[in-house]
Amino acid sequence: MNRTENNAAPVDKPEDIRPEPFQFTGTGREYFGIWIVNILLTIVTFGIYSAWAKVRRQRYFYGNTRLAGHAFDYHARPKQILIGRIIVLAGLFTYNIVVNLFPLASLALLLLLFLILPWLIMRGLRFNARVTSYRTVRLDFHGRYWGAAKAYIAGPLLAAVTLGILAPLATRWAWRYSLGNLRYGGRPVACDPNLKSLYGQWWLSALIVLIGFVLLGGFSMSIYGFLGWEDSLMTKNEIRIAILSTTYLFMLSIILIYAFAGLFYRAGTRNIALNAAILDERHHFSSALSRRRYAWIAISNLLATLFTLGLARPWAAVRMARYVAAATTIRIDGSLDDYLNQVTETGPAISAEYLDMEGFDFGF
Amino acid sequence: MDSDGCAPVAAGFWHPRRSSRAVPAHMRMTVKTVIVTADEDAAELAAGSPENVTVSDRIGAIPRHILFEDGSVFETDDNDAVDDWLASRFCSRTGILHRLERFHPRLALFALLVVVLFAGLYRYALPAAVELAVAATPPDATRLLGQSVLSSLDHSSVLTPSTLPQERQDAIAGQFRDLTRKTPQGEDAFTLLFRGGEHIGPNAFALPDGSIVLTDALVGLAPDDDAVLGVLAHEMGHVAGNHSLRSLYRAAGATTLILFISGDVGSGIHDILVQGTGLAALSYSREQESEADRYSVTLMTKAGRDPAGLARMLESLDRHPHAEDGTDFFSSHPATPARIEAIRRHAAQPPEG
């Protein structure tokens, strides 16, 4: 304890600024064992082990993410996760029973879900922050209900009704909320990505969507045109089935076009958001993902996982984590020594598990 | 210090309670004590007995955290030294999970086991669970389910009161009753309801409680009574097979299965799996349709009626101009030539077949 005094004084010399890259030190070979044992035990225990599996997976990924010689850690306890999952499953079960038994009530229920969704998101983000530590100091999250409603309900809605034209606005709100409300040792993270820079990353994706739609439009027009021929040899039935399957393919193509363009957009806007993020008014984040490389890794990962019946997943997950970590840097100004943990309670895991099980993806 | 010469020593960092400060230090572990000493000036930073320190689990090669009673933490990458110490102190207590997870030919066996178990889960355990759930569903619940769906359709004006002449309704209802008497479930298992309904066109559908809704438009389109009865017998097949309850439970089971696995497969594969179960549900419902077709043929034969009535009805529907929004009987019952052919082939067979 005799050394506390020496290091307590903040070091503010500008020459102390040094860029520290994030680093991911896990390997596909090592993670494969953890992953396959997780799945095996989850199946054998009828899902109960999935809570322990999640903690081991998260601890592996957090513990291998290193910054300036120290690793992150994940602190959720398996029993906490298990209870959260059981409550979420019971809730989903009840919801489905009510929807099926009282179809008229389902609209009201859906509305109710929309009303509590921001709260769930807020609590989920808080839980995830509070179970994350770096150098034994926990992160914390101070976002509120209305911020979540704006960032995750109003934003996506606005982006959807404008066919993506206002997507950068939604992205700005989402980053401002999820990253800008984080705290480390009681010190805030500021994040206010510039709207103009976000649009700078938007036009390429918009162009991809536009080109995709033009191609798709031409293609489907010719198919529907063919089906509409009066002297077609097909029966009314066959035409109907052909139209149905073409429509299905059409919808699928739209989803694929948006997903493809979304990869570029996500990588580009992450760069903008992190470049605009500052911890404790002095440590600047930066991100230098290459959009093309990011999209390539995501797509080839997906294909490799598909064609190996999932067995390539550990390799794929590690590959992505490695790339994203290596592209992320903090310019440390002074020292990271004088942060004090402020978090003592994590709260229940229910909201975080709900978001997790519904497939919401919040990666910091 | 001298007496502990052979005790395992791990190098790492020591963090004071609550603090991000990291002091380069090493930890000496003996049978009775654990002591953390600063590298720089050999000052003792933390000490404890093996019973009152908490050691984090080993996962891969991530750093170990040793939490002391005073709240300070020692962090080390030297997993082996910590494990050696734990092994000497607590015999074989060291992570069995970690030993299972280590890269080893055994993992290939695990992978094979996972593939087999997963296939078995989907192929056998899921249908078995569905059967169990169907058997465990109280009749009251099915009644409530059927009635609430019907009342919501009635209230939202999807269905309107029938405008079919009473004598026509009575004639069909009488023939329907004769048909129900030939089923193993008996007369009380089925209820016939006449409804109008512009939006859903020529249509008939079954509810889980045995109510069968028949629209006026379908009666109007039918070439003869056996065509109407063929459709009704088809819907009775859905009721007898508990098809709506089965699809409901099956969807719920598949969704639960995906929920448990989603964290381990990533969001892309998660989305594909969700789409995939949608497609699987589609093929499952097609199986149910042919099962109901066969039920119709068998029942009509048993009742001494024309077993090809359903096929005739499907053909008339095909010639009928369809509702543009695809909500009529046709959208859920595509009358492919293959299907009509199958009904006719089945109808031509001797009754035992």
Interfacial A residues in 284-323 facing B (CB < 8 Å): 298, 301-302, 305-306, 309-311, 313, 316-317
Q: Please list, residue by residue across A266-283, b when 16 or more beta carbons sit within 10 angstroms of its beta carbon and e when fewer do.
A: bbbbbbbbbbbbbbbeeb
Whether A158 has a pLDDT exceeding 90, the answer reads yes
Structure tokens at A227: 């089906």
Closest CB from A101, A241, A357 relative to B148: A101
| Residue A164 near chain B (CB below 8 Å) | no
Contact between B334 and A26 using a beta-carbon 8 Å cutoff: no
* Higher pLDDT among residues A361 and A356, named by residue: A356
Residue-wise pLDDT for B46-94, tens only, equals 999 988 999 999 999 999 999 999 999 999 999 999 988 888 776 655 5
Whether A247 has a pLDDT exceeding 90, the answer reads no
Q: What is the CA radius of gyration of chain A?
A: 24
Residue-wise pLDDT for A325-351, tens only, equals 999 999 999 888 888 888 877 788 888
Q: Kindly report whether the global pTM for this prediction surpasses the value 0.90.
A: no
Interfacial A residues in 190-209 facing B (CB < 8 Å): none
Closest CB from A305, A337, A340 relative to B266: A305
Contact between A359 and B271 using a beta-carbon 8 Å cutoff: yes
Amino acid A10: pLDDT: 45
Residue-wise pLDDT for B273-304, tens only, equals 888 888 888 888 888 999 999 999 999 999 99
Amino acid A5: pLDDT: 41
Whole-angstrom distance, CA of residue B134 vs CA of residue A270: 48
Contacts of A90 (CB under 8 A, 6+ apart): none
Whether A72 has a pLDDT exceeding 80, the answer reads yes
Contact between B62 and A59 using a beta-carbon 8 Å cutoff: yes
**Closest by CA position to A291, among listed A331, A243, A323:** A323
Residue-wise pLDDT for B164-183, tens only, equals 999 999 999 999 999 999 99
| Residue B118 near chain A (CB below 8 Å) | yes
How many CB atoms sit inside 10 A of residue A245's CB?
10
- In this structure, are residues A101 and B148 in contact, taking their beta carbons and an 8 Å threshold? yes
Contact between B97 and A37 using a beta-carbon 8 Å cutoff: yes
Residues of A in Cβ contact (< 8 Å) with B75: 70-71, 136
The nearest alpha carbon in chain A to B152 belongs to A104
Residues of A in Cβ contact (< 8 Å) with B55: none
How many CB atoms sit inside 10 A of residue B181's CB?
9
Interfacial A residues in 22-81 facing B (CB < 8 Å): 25-26, 29-40, 42-44, 47, 50, 53-54, 56-57, 59-60, 62-64, 69-71, 73
- In this structure, are residues B108 and B224 in contact, taking their beta carbons and an 8 Å threshold? no
Q: Tell how strand B23-29 and strand B34-38 pair up.
A: antiparallel
Structure tokens at A157: 């809605």
- Placement of tokens 């002095």 in the chain: A282
Query: Residues of chain A with pLDDT > 70: what percent?
Result: 90
Interfacial B residues in 161-220 facing A (CB < 8 Å): none
Residue-wise pLDDT for A19-29, tens only, equals 999 999 999 99
Whether the complex's predicted ipTM surpasses the cut of 0.90: no
Three state DSSP letters for chain B: CHHHCCCCEEEEEEECCCECCCEEEEEEECCCCEEEEECCCCCEEEEECHHHCEECCCCCCCCEEEECCCCCEEEECCHHHHHHHHHHHHCCCCCHHHHHHCCCCHHHHHHHHHHHHHHHHHHHHHHHHHHHHHHHCCHHHHHHHHHHHHHHHHHCCCCEECCCCHHHHHHHHHHHHHHHHCCCCCHHHCEEEEEECCCCCCCEEECCCCEEEEEHHHHHHCCCHHHHHHHHHHHHHHHHCCHHHHHHHHHHHHHHHHHHHHHHHHHHHHHHHHHHHHHHHHHHHHHHHHHHHHHHHHHHHHCCCCCCHHHHHHHHHHHCCCCCCCCCHHHHCCCCHHHHHHHHHHHHCCCCC
**Closest by CA position to B173, among listed B218, B208, B212:** B212
Residue-wise pLDDT for A117-132, tens only, equals 999 999 999 999 999 9
Residue-wise pLDDT for A77-119, tens only, equals 999 999 999 999 898 888 888 887 777 778 888 899 899 999 9
Whether B324 has a pLDDT exceeding 50, the answer reads no
Q: Tell me the average pLDDT across B313-318.
A: 84
The nearest alpha carbon in chain B to A320 belongs to B266
Amino acid B330: pLDDT: 54
Q: Which one of A43, A96, A247 would you mutate to disrupt binding with B, by most B Cβ within 10 Å of its Cβ?
A: A43
Distance of CA A31 to the CA centre of its chain: 21
| Phi, then psi, of A177 in degrees rounded to 5 | -75, -50
